[in-house]
Structure 1
Amino acid sequence: MPMFVLLFTVLALVFSPPNQAERAFVWQQIDTAVEVRADGTLGVSERLTLRYTSGPFTFAFRDLPERRLDGITNITLSDAEGAYRQVEDEESSEPRTFSVFQEDGAQRVRWVYPPTTDASRSFTLGYDVAGAVRRFADGDEVWWSIVFPDREELVEQATGVIRLPQAVAASEITASAPDAAPDGSVSIQDGEASLRASNIAPDQELTLRVRFPKGIVGGAAPAWQADSEWQENYDATTRPTVNILLSLLSVLLVAGGGVGAGLWRRGARDPKSAFSGPVYSPPDTLRPAETAQLLGETGTQAFTATMLDLANRGFVQFHEERERWKGTYVRAERVRSDEDTLDPIERRVMQALFEKEPTVVLNGTNSDIVGALPDLGRLADERLVALGLLDPARRSRRRPAIALGVILLVCGALVALFGAAFAARISFWLPVAGIALALGGVAWLTIGGSIRGLTEAGAEALARWRFFKDHLEGLAVGQGPEGHFDRLLPYAVALGGEKRLTRSYQNTNEPLPIWYYPAVIGTSSSPGTPSVAGSNLMLQDFSQNFLSSLSNASSSASSTSSSSSSGASGGGGGGAG
């Protein structure tokens, strides 16, 4: 048996296809010849020799970007056996065909050849170029990419030549290779300049720049040249100053926005209370919704807490029900209709729940709750003002700060958006300045939102309620005050601590609220029974099922209601596969 396994393994290794990841090649030779024509166009021929050190390889490609030129046409491809046939299929697998298509802002030429492994292949890529001769007052120039930069492989040898349409004397031609390595060499002869280099590293470009007298070629300056010259001049003379100014402006916007908002807050901030706690029970007679508003909690919490408070006073009952296809859900039922004794907040909650029917399923789709949430905040504010806890004049001071914050945030976002579009042309500090402006807006929004408009009495009440919230959050399992679960629950919901409160009554004899009928009991049973004898499960269900149903009914509604231009022409990249 071991011999069979060994034999199978050896055969699998021998006959398995080569791993695609192990395929490799280098550019053995790239020879680029540029013929400058009398009409100002160029005829470019690239002889590309690839040496495959593994395989098989079946296609190669060359990307021809149209940077600093007006267009590329008449693309051809051939090898020693003849010309390749152009096809429309971009993913053609037919040997001796090629296709041309747009890819990442360049014309990609992709050609297919017979599978090749551990061998070399040479191809000749030809094309015509318009708008690549640069025109200056003292002469014309061709600056061409002899070896393209966008590649991952080494180029072992490279040559390039730029030939003029006339045999201009060598003394009237200047040539340079700005990107050539020290071993590169440039030579000038009558009517042409050439370049030779070796071992051009991946991602490195090799260019040849040739300037010659005016009048050798016809035609007008290319369309892109004026913009390119402006960009070159801007980058050399103006961009450094713009960068410095925009960087200083960005710092000033961030610092100024934050400092300005902070100084404004010093004159508008709410009074502080010296009360230091602790508080073990609700410190005053505020209703749960008023408590939530005082502490800046959400309308969702205020609505849910008010429902529970009304249940404690006998106006509402909650029935948990289970059905095979619907799962578990909670149904609220109106028990009393004498709502004249209720305050405006409580009447608004009862109206949102039971205006249409005496029972309602709390499933988060009740559209009437949507309209109730803003009303709850307004009514709670009016009640807090009537109690002397909020000062309308002080509270109104937050509006200018919030308005300024919104303006700065929107303007900053617009500047950042448009700055990103012009960053390469003007300055990369443009979007940074927009972000800095937006951060100043965030500072004003934060400071403005923190102004509650509290009076001295309001600050005292806020401090006491915060200490009571800390007390509820600090209760451990089994430490819930005996006999007070139903009374504390509305306030715990208003303060965001209902889960901690419920957990503090686990492993106790605390009865479930009299208004709650869990599915395990049924509506015909008495809910006010101790929570032991397996009732830890009841408390857990109460916390997970009932409270989540209540919060979902209002939270779903809440979410519904809220609201260089310098460089060579040509270039690009290439590869094989």
Structure 2
Amino acid sequence: TYTLSYRVHDGLRYYSGGDQLWWKAVYGDRQFPVLASRVRVMVPAPAVIQEYAAYINDADARDSVTAELLDGNRAILFEAQRTLRAGQELEVRAQFTSGVVAGTAPAWQSRADAQAAQREAEAAYQQQWGPIATLFSGVLALALLLGGPALAYLMWYKYGRDKPVARVADYLPEPPDDLPPGLAGTLVDDSADMQDIIATIVDLARRKAISITEVKEQGFFRMGTDFIYRRERTDVQLSPFESNLITDIVGSKQEKKLSDLKNNFYQD
């Protein structure tokens, strides 16, 4: 057992209603726990202890620290009821009869009183509004949990999904739009392929820009069918790609057989 004795100057706080001792018996600047702590405060006669309190890390510790008045209220014994973890500090306060101990308020007292008042105000605010804030946070979390998927679905439904289109008729007597069929097919699959070329040729024939004539061919070794493509009306309004297609088919002539295009047209 070690007994350390020392004298502290200007350690009291002086008030008209009663002088006070605030004492940090267990400091928090340590990396180990304090398993048991006991603090005894004694005041000189004829003073008696009027009020007392204990704090752990500046918070009211009445649930963790007991206090017992002794010797006709001239002493008080504080005892922690639990282990103080690393970083936790224990501070005690005792108010006793004013005027028994001579002295005046030290220079640091006003600053310490202001800090104590701020801590009390924060504790009162937390006690008043803390439950409401906790309830609000819970409600907000529940709303996000339930409303988040609903909001995501709503955003998808409004902005992300493909809008429904009217049902297309099984048979259309005329094209639904003025867009050339070959160009429409290219837009659908983002690729200009043979079916788009054939659709353009058929459309040019429908508009009388060209004609397609089926012819029978006979020979000693074969009999078959061929097609002749001819330039027709020159007053038909054509797109640049349609004009290029007609030129690729018949060239500088007015007509050309399909058999002459074999193995040549697709290379062009």
RCO higher in structure (CA 8 A, sep ≥6): 1
Choose 1 or 2 for highest CA Rg.
Answer: 2
* Structure in which a larger fraction of residues adopt helix: 1
TM over 0.5, shorter chain? no
TM-score by length of 1: 0.21
